[in-house]
Amino acid sequence: MATLGAYTKKHKVTVVGSGNWGSAIAKIVAENTKEHPDLFEEEVQMWVFEEEITVPKTSKHYHAGSKFSTQPHKLTKLINHFHDNVKYLPDIALPTNLIANPSLQESVHDSSILIFNLPHQFIGGLCDQMKGHILPYARGISCIKGVSVDSEDVRLFSESIGDKLGIYCGALSGANIANEVAQEKFSETTIAYDPPPMDSRNPTPKATTPQGPTPSSSQLDLTAINEHKDSKGKTSKVKLIVPPSDLAPIDHNIIKTLFHRPYFHVQVVSDVAGVSLGGALKNIVAIATGFVAGLGWGDNAKAAVMRVGLLEMVKFGKMFFSNNVQTKTFTEESAGVADLITSCSGGRNYRCAKMSVERKVSIQEVEKEELNGQMLQGTSTAEEVFHFLKARGKESEFPLLVGTYRILQGEVSVEDLPDLMEGKKK
């Protein structure tokens, strides 16, 4: 693991977001900053959207004679008092060095590592509030699953954050159910982080000969470069600021040290697009798997849908992010095949699709009845991906992704899915 060595400053870490997944990730990060004081400041800030709540009677912290139980209090006060997010991750002990903060600007102040974990629709507004309040050389990790798709383009949430704030941002995704992770049940995740060239501390020789360096012995100092490539291999419009030399460079070792736990194993890769696409496209495949499960077609049918779905996920990545996406991200990493298996075994998209077939109602009706106001990601992603493919005349290349959308629209029946997967016209 990385050590501080000659570096005299430590990384300060902030988690932006405090839902169940945000709190679970904040718990992990705070455990690791405490264990590695040579690299990180021990205290971790967690930005919390402030609200007043009363401790539920089901909470282990509820006591009828306590003012903290019988009266409404600000959520940040309750988290910092009980070291427990009593609303979004109840009865999970949070580290005492994790500090809930209702001020977004204060929580990100002087932080060199920013971890984003919030609903994607709030990215733009919160980044606007953060501008001018973060270190110009900060780096980020987005734990927001999925991508933004319209008929014009596919955008990674990590790059939307990076573009807004003028920083580089990687992505975390995997087969990670928040409550299981928080309960320290074993799981894996994938973090995609492709360190910008200017973050390197090692100048690279410009050229060599068989006898050694060229006569000029000149070297290319990567820290002098402020450009980096985006997920499509193009030069990003963001001009990055080089981190100071007295901070340890944020590389794969630092990222793994910050996130890896005995119960939460981390693989760090460089394929940000592949990791992000896996978190989005698997939701469409999960809906298709739920459809065949609802028909009672058994495990063979579910496995067939998952196999074809995985192939189409790889194909989508290679077709539209050809410069960066790696097949093995989908076939070997938690963010690919493992997350697909979890989502197609019991995730919300799978369960709602299954119930819609069993009840003979639309998936939208099930969504309203079962999700308490939350929205399925698979249905909206299926629509977005369909229009993106249609705009390019590529529908026939992705029969499962397109067929699932057509079933959702009522154009074809669930029973047609095997033929649709083979590309037969319906």
Q: What is the 3-state secondary structure (H, E, C) of the chain?
A: CCCCCCCCECEEEEEECCCHHHHHHHHHHHHHHHHCCCCEEEEEEEECCCCEECCCCCCCCCCCCCHHHHCCEEHHHHHHHHCCECCCECCCCCCCCEEEECCHHHHHCCCCEEEECCCHHHHHHHHHHHCCCCCCCCEEEECCCCEEECCCCEEEHHHHHHHHHCCEEEEEECCCCHHHHHCCCCEEEEEECCCCHHHCCCCEECCEECCEECCCCCEECHHHCCCCECCCCCECCCCCCCCCCCECCCCHHHHHHHHCECCEEEEEECCHHHHHHHHHHHHHHHHHHHHHHHCCCHHHHHHHHHHHHHHHHHHHHHHHCCCCCCHHHHHHCHHHHHHHHHHHHHCHHHHHHHHHHHHCCCHHHHHHHHCCCCCCHHHHHHHHHHHHHHHCCCHHHCHHHHHHHHHHCCCCCHHHHHHHHCCCCC
pLDDT classification of 161: cutoffs 50, 70, 90 = very high
What percentage of the chain reaches a pLDDT higher than 90? Answer: 79
More reliable by pLDDT, 313 or 70: 313
pLDDT for res 101? 98
Does 210 score more than 60 pLDDT?
A: no
Which residue matches tokens 């050590």? 3
Active site (annotated) includes residue 282: yes
Q: What per-residue string of b and e applies to 90-106 under the rule 16 or more CB within 10 Å gives b?
A: bebebbeebbbbbebee
pLDDT for res 216? 44
Does 219 score more than 60 pLDDT?
A: no
Does 222 score more than 70 pLDDT?
A: no
- What pairs with residue 113 in β-bridges? 13, 139
- Convert the pLDDT of each residue in 372-412 to its tens digit: 777 889 999 999 999 999 999 999 999 999 999 999 999 99
pLDDT for res 295? 97
Rg (CA), the chain: 23
Does 423 score more than 90 pLDDT?
A: no
Q: Which of 27, 87, 164, 282 is catalytic?
A: 282
Does 323 score more than 90 pLDDT?
A: no
pLDDT classification of 4: cutoffs 50, 70, 90 = very low
Does 35 score more than 70 pLDDT?
A: yes
Does 228 score more than 70 pLDDT?
A: yes
pLDDT for res 213? 46
Q: What value does the mean pLDDT take over residues 74-84?
A: 96
Does 206 score more than 80 pLDDT?
A: no
What percentage of the chain reaches a pLDDT higher than 70? Answer: 92
Q: What value does the mean pLDDT take over residues 108-118?
A: 97
pTM metric for this prediction: 0.89
Range of lowest pLDDT (60-69, 258-267, 352-361): 60-69
Mean pLDDT for the chain overall: 91
